[in-house]
Structure 1
Amino acid sequence: MPKHFLRAAALAAIALLLPAQAPPPAAAPSAGEPIVIGRSYLVPSAILHGNRRVNVYLPPHYGAAGRRFPILFLLDGGAEEDFHHITGLAAISAAYGTTDEMIVIGIEGVDRRHDLTAPSTSPEDLKAAPTSGGAAAYRRFLVEELKPWVAAHYGGAGRTALIGESLAGLFVVETALREPGAFDDYIAISPSLWWNRQALSREAEADLAKGGLEGRRLWLAMANESSLYPEMQQGMDRLLAALRAAPPRGLTWSHTPFPGETHATIYHPAAMAAIRALYALPPARPGG
């Protein structure tokens, strides 16, 4: 065998024994461009004795002459909570012309078991949520401080809505029943109506009889909660019975069950359904 073949074979054998060389380092990425979907602010609150972080999403045509937009006040609306999720649903629905564009105001949670619950006399509730009972003050913050702040910064708008799920859904229902003038529309998804031995649903008939719901809309949804959270379903059933027994004058309400969803999966499909139901645009005319 020629010597140059022997030499090449030897070199190849040595190469197999050596560790593979690392590839050359990749070029450092450029700075790129940020993807911005909103802005975050600290809103001072005398009622809550401190600042609360509020995240704001503005639709693409915000600022266009003559345009007014619904404002969706989102409980649990922090960047690490539901702000990105709900703004995404609102944006994609409007982008395809299914619904109106809307402003989303996400209120970041601090101690949601405090802020979203009324006082409870249940020992189980107090053990699970020892800081509970701050809903009245939190509601005052939303109505007396945050809504004026939004109006001052973003001008006149269309209908206002309050949306929440679980304990936030409980807060939404309580607001609709006991301070119906706070918002125009209420979206409560799998509300935790088990709270305080289902007191809110037990008192719903009396609350509804007080009136004040003219021109309001209440959109309710419930996952398949019967097996894990039967008290939650019982509370919803009692609330629906009260609405059916004496429909409040001027209130438009609906209930949409989601039997294929759990408490952990209902929020996205139900929120999309609510946005489509309440803020639907008329169908486009053929050829338009």
Structure 2
Amino acid sequence: MSDSFTRRTGLLAAILLLAMSTAAEATTVRVFYDVGYGNRISIRGSKAPLSWTTGTNATWNTGNIWTLSWANTVGDVEVKPLINDATWSTGANYRIKAGATVDIYPFFGPASGQLRTVSNFYSPQFNNSRTLTIYLPPSYSENPLKRYPVLYAHDGQNLFNAARATYGVEWRMDETANSLIGNGSMDEVIIVGMDHGDANRIYEYTPCCDAQYGGGGADKHERFILDTVKPFIDQNYRTLSAKANTALIGSSLGGLVSFYVGRRNPTVFGKLAAMSSSFWWNNQALTQQVEASTTKVAVKFYIDAGTSSDGLTETTRMRDALVADGYVQGNDLYYYVAQGAGHNESSWAARLNIPLTYLFPWQSTVY
């Protein structure tokens, strides 16, 4: 073997190694969006070589993936994609850590989701039917490359439409989600509002069994969500079905059953919000279970109560039980006291932004 060949081989190896090293040290943004023929995606950002005044064109790749890389020595950067360096994406800037490869699924239209209704949705667990109201986030039609986290919400009849609400007051959940997504406080999410089964609400939403009210259908309700609702949603909508992107929310008895089902199924639900929950049920049996537990369940909890006849004492006891199990306020626990708030839809609507941004903060979705 000649010295010349050896030198050439060594040089090629060095070039290859340098290329691999350079690639490993790059920070990369991949923008998933179909801009249509003749259009392009550019990126503006907070540090050179990027700029907030003039965009840098990304490179198109098969699958409508637009890619741009720069040296990780630039450090952490905030960026935003534009169409033709003229139309900014909706929402907040994207935070990119040095050396990371980050996937972005933007949209460029108004922050206005759409509601879809599934009538006469049959529950084999209860042998009855009810309505599902599904909130599809703003980009759902605009960016078909994107998949979404899912929030399963109890008392669906009260969430989106005052005309259907039990007491004529809605949570304004769609308006709140639109606002939070639009201002960049919250990731886009599909919300599945599940009506309860008419007169069977107490039974459906409670573990067994309160001396005064009976109940005891929560295990069937658990199967209704896991075996009937969730498979239907995952099969018919573009969901991200892993636990990190799947949550529950409810209030009053809906909060109780959200806590109950979520805590029992930590491989399905990564987080839950229990607002003004009926932790008093059956002499606070659920709280006693948490107090007796020696295992920390891998679920993030949001719990709250108002100061006006809203079960604050029982909710505080549940908070203390969770803390004793190792949950940390501001990390995997968010305990909130709503000053002056009562046990009603208007109070829950007024603070809905807090659990929504805790469950799905901006740029938290795991793709």
Partner in structure 2 of residue 19 of structure 1: none
Partner in structure 2 of residue 44 of structure 1: 122
- 1:176 equivalenced with 2:262 (yes/no): yes
Q: Deviations over 1:165-190 (max 9, x none)?
A: 11101111212333333422100111
- 1:164 equivalenced with 2:250 (yes/no): yes
Partner in structure 1 of residue 356 of structure 2: 275
Query: Is the partner of 1:281 in helix, strand or coil?
Result: coil
Query: Is the partner of 1:266 in helix, strand or coil?
Result: helix
Deviation at 1:248, TM superposition (A): 5.4
Deviation at 1:217, TM superposition (A): 1.4
Instruction: Name the one with the larger strand percent.
Output: 2
Higher mean C-alpha deviation, range 76-85 or range 238-247: 76-85
Q: Distance in 1 between matches of 2:171 and 2:277?
A: 21
Partner in structure 2 of residue 147 of structure 1: 230
Query: Is the partner of 1:98 in helix, strand or coil?
Result: coil
User: What letter matches 1:68 in structure 2?
Assistant: R
Q: 1:1-288, aligned counterparts within 5 Å?
A: 37-41=114-118, 42-63=120-141, 64-78=143-157, 79=161, 80-81=164-165, 85-110=172-197, 111-122=200-211, 124-126=212-214, 132-157=215-240, 159-207=245-293, 209-211=294-296, 213-214=297-298, 216-225=299-308, 228=309, 232-247=311-326, 252-264=332-344, 265-281=346-362
Query: Is the partner of 1:188 in helix, strand or coil?
Result: strand
Q: Deviations over 1:217-265 (max 9, x none)?
A: 111111114xx35xx333222211211222159x811101112212224
Deviation at 1:136, TM superposition (A): 0.8
User: What letter matches 2:174 in structure 1?
Assistant: T
> Identity over the aligned pairs, expressed in percent?
25
Q: Mark the runs of 5 or more structure 1 residues left unpaired by the alignment.
A: 1-35, 127-131, 283-288
CA separation of 1:65 and 1:38: change in aligned 2, threshold 3 A: closer
Q: Deviations over 1:4-51 (max 9, x none)?
A: xxxxxxxxxxxxxxxxxxxxxxxxxxxxxxxx9412113232222233
Query: Is the partner of 1:180 in helix, strand or coil?
Result: coil
Q: Distance in 1 between matches of 2:258 and 2:233?
A: 19
Q: Deviations over 1:185-228 (max 9, x none)?
A: 10011101111111111221234x344x33x3111111114xx3
The question of whether the paired residues in 2 share the 8 Å contact of 1:99 and 1:279 is answered with yes
Q: Distance in 2 between matches of 1:253 and 1:117?
A: 23
CA separation of 1:85 and 1:69: change in aligned 2, threshold 3 A: same
Q: Mark the runs of 5 or more structure 2 residues left unpaired by the alignment.
A: 1-112
Radius of gyration: which is bigger? 1
The question of whether the paired residues in 1 share the 8 Å contact of 2:134 and 2:190 is answered with yes
Deviation at 1:121, TM superposition (A): 4.1
TM-score of the aligned structures, taking structure 2 as reference length: 0.58
Q: Distance in 2 between matches of 1:85 and 1:190?
A: 17
**TM superposition outliers: structure 1 runs of 4+ over 6 Å:** none
Q: Distance in 1 between matches of 2:320 and 2:314?
A: 10
User: What letter matches 1:269 in structure 2?
Assistant: A
CA separation of 1:68 and 1:246: change in aligned 2, threshold 3 A: same
Q: Distance in 1 between matches of 2:188 and 2:314?
A: 33
Q: Which has the higher contact order (CA 8 A, sep 6+)?
A: 1
User: What letter matches 2:251 in structure 1?
Assistant: E
Query: Is the partner of 2:351 in helix, strand or coil?
Result: helix
Query: Is the partner of 1:156 in helix, strand or coil?
Result: coil
Q: Distance in 1 between matches of 2:170 and 2:188?
A: 16
TM-score of the aligned structures, taking structure 1 as reference length: 0.73
Deviation at 1:65, TM superposition (A): 4.2
Q: Distance in 2 between matches of 1:210 and 1:46?
A: 33
